Structure 1
Amino acid sequence: MAYKYSKGWYVQQLKNMGMRYHPVGRRKLELYKTWVVRNLYNELQTKNEK
């Protein structure tokens, strides 16, 4: 269980959405900094709202 809005939480949420790797870098999400993972999460959230 990760703290809400921590890097682990963002990675867990992205994996639940089906994303395992970064769409451009093609590396595992765990290898990226928190701000990169947070931006990916926010982008997916805005796409899902539309």
Structure 2
Amino acid sequence: MHKYSKGWFVQQLRAKGIKLHPQLRCHLGLFKESELRNLYYQYVENEQLDTE
């Protein structure tokens, strides 16, 4: 799996416990890569920056 691909974003979000879209409650695989990237930066990257 290539880093920053759609599958990679899904894998990273699921590793953080996000299995459904936080607002729409749909499976992550239904969304475009751009939407998954936004979720990743919102919930994963920002969380890591806040803890440092």
Specify if TM > 0.5: yes
Structure 2: give runs of 5+ residues left out of the alignment.
none
After superposition, what is the alpha-carbon deviation per residue over 1:12-49, rounded to whole angstroms, capped at 9, x for unaligned?
00000110000111000000000000000001111332
State the number of aligned residues.
49
- In the TM superposition, 1:6-45 aligns within 5 A as 6-44=5-43, 45=45
Structure 1: give runs of 5+ residues left out of the alignment.
none
Question: Structure 1: which 4+ aligned runs deviate by more than 3 Å?
Answer: none
TM-score (norm 1): 0.90
TM-score (norm 2): 0.86
What's the Cα RMSD here?
0.8
Equivalent residue number for residue 47 of structure 2: 47
